[in-house]
Amino acid sequence: MPEIATIDLDIAMNVFQLHGIDRNGKIVLANRGVAARFQVSSKSFPLA
C-alpha cells in the first residue's frame, strides 16, 4: 500500500467517506460506508 500523508474524513448522519492522499496529492485510498460501521473500518488503518 502506498504511504498515506493526509487523511480526509467526511462524516454525515448515516454515511462516511474516507480518502487517503499521498505526498503528491494523489488519492491512494477511497472508502465509503455506513457511519455505524466506521469504528470497525478505522481499526484497519495503522497510525504512525
With beta carbons less than 8 A apart as the criterion, state whether 8 and 18 touch.
yes
State the Cα torsion 14-12-31-4 to the nearest 10°: -150
* In a domain? residue 44: no
- Name the pTM for this structure: 0.59
- The answer to the question of residue 30 being in a domain is yes
Q: Count up the domains in the chain and report the number.
A: 1
Residue 43, domain member (yes or no): no
Give the single-character DSSP code of 45: S
- Residue 9 resides in a domain: yes
Place 48 in a pLDDT band, splitting at 50, 70 and 90: low
Side-by-side strand order, sheet with 15-21: 6-11, 15-21, 27-34
Mean pLDDT taken over the chain: 79
pLDDT of residue 41: 57
Instruction: Write out the residue range of the structural domain in which residue 29 sits.
Output: 1-34
The answer as to whether 39 is a domain residue is no
